[in-house]
Structure 1
Amino acid sequence: MTSTSGSNFYESQSITKPPFFNGDNYPYWKNRMMLFIKSNYYQVWDVVKDGPFIPMKREGDRLIPKMSSYTSAKEVWDTLETTYEGTNDVKETKIGLLNLSYENFKMEPDENVTKMFDRFSFILNGLKGLGEVIPGDKLV
């Protein structure tokens, strides 16, 4: 599974730098960002989810025009969730479609194991990003 820029979603990243979001595959980025914040700055995660914190603004960031009027990390996070996940109704529809893809998942005739695993990971990351985690025993 690759992004439109050609880089691999699963390539390694620095543990000291947050994952970069280029506007593609929000569920995957969201999971990585939550893990990054929780593993490096666990107390900051509470601030991101509950506020208040004034975000730093860097020139040249793609989302700065959209986010520049916000005064807290919580506002930025909530806006990213709504922008890339949608409202609760949209989330429920996406969850339903991803669950259907999961339940009907099978290897396609023209795909190798790596492509199949990437497609399966995309479904699972999408579900996890929307708050729908499939228990380990059901994954088997």
Structure 2
Amino acid sequence: MARSGMGELRSPIFNGSNYDFWRIKMCTFFKCNKLWDMVENGYEQPVKKKDGEALTAAQKLALEENVAKDAKAL
């Protein structure tokens, strides 16, 4: 589960046996990479108050972070 310089996450591969141990490794992997909440709950995109209103800088940053975490979890 080491990280390369490219920021790649390497998750445990399920080989078809010992599912219970693999499941524990996967849960640990997601928790260590701060992705467990994304696995359990997903994320909601910020809702704009009015049509055409742009997201605030904080909302844009949160959305970008959530999209990146969601992609890593997948």
Q: Which has the higher helix share?
A: 1
Both structures adopt the same fold (TM-score exceeding 0.5): no
